[in-house]
Copies of this chain bind each other. A is one copy, B any other.
Amino acid sequence: MLLSLDLDSETPLYEQLRNRIIIGIATGELAEQEKLPTVRQLADDLGINAMTVNKAYALLKQEGYIAIDRRHGAKVSARQQGKVDAVPEPELERKLELLIAEAAIRGVDPSRFHQLCARIFSKMSYQP
């Protein structure tokens, strides 16, 4: 997986990194149980501070996306089939509401929005 960061972005580097890894997991670019680069390795590759990568990994671990094993480093968590959310999280709903509000004001109608979602979903390998 190729990672590229935008140094001039509003989004903090550690968050960009987190986001890219989550998308990588969802699309299958990063397989379940796949080993991630070490903190130092990734920091060197991206030319950023190791602390920044560490922060991204810690966040991903806390959110359950990856597991950090002292012996084997970080790897993508196994998908917890049983733990599937019955109801989408309020957080997701809150973010989606804002996105849809912005889109609606700009004249994006529900069917066009739905098409866009479908297109993005089709790139995800995590569909049951």
Report which A residues bind B (CB closer than 8 A).
7-8, 12-13, 19, 22-23, 25-27, 48-49, 62, 65, 67-71, 79, 81, 83-85, 88-89, 92-93, 95-110, 112-114, 116-118, 120-121, 124, 126-128
Assess whether A85 is in contact with B105, with CB atoms less than 8 Å apart.
no
Which of B8, B25, B89, B96 sits near A68, CB closer than 8 Å?
A: B8
Residues from chain B with a CB closer than 8 A to the CB of A70 are 7, 12-13
Assess whether B92 is in contact with A102, with CB atoms less than 8 Å apart.
yes
Assess whether B113 is in contact with A117, with CB atoms less than 8 Å apart.
yes
- Give the number of copies in the complex: 4
Residues from chain B with a CB closer than 8 A to the CB of A81 are 107
Known: A84-B107, A88-B116, A106-B89. A23 touches B126 (CB 8 A): no
Assess whether B85 is in contact with A97, with CB atoms less than 8 Å apart.
no
Give bound CA distance, A68 to B12, whole Å.
12
Assess whether A105 is in contact with B25, with CB atoms less than 8 Å apart.
yes
Assess whether A108 is in contact with B120, with CB atoms less than 8 Å apart.
no
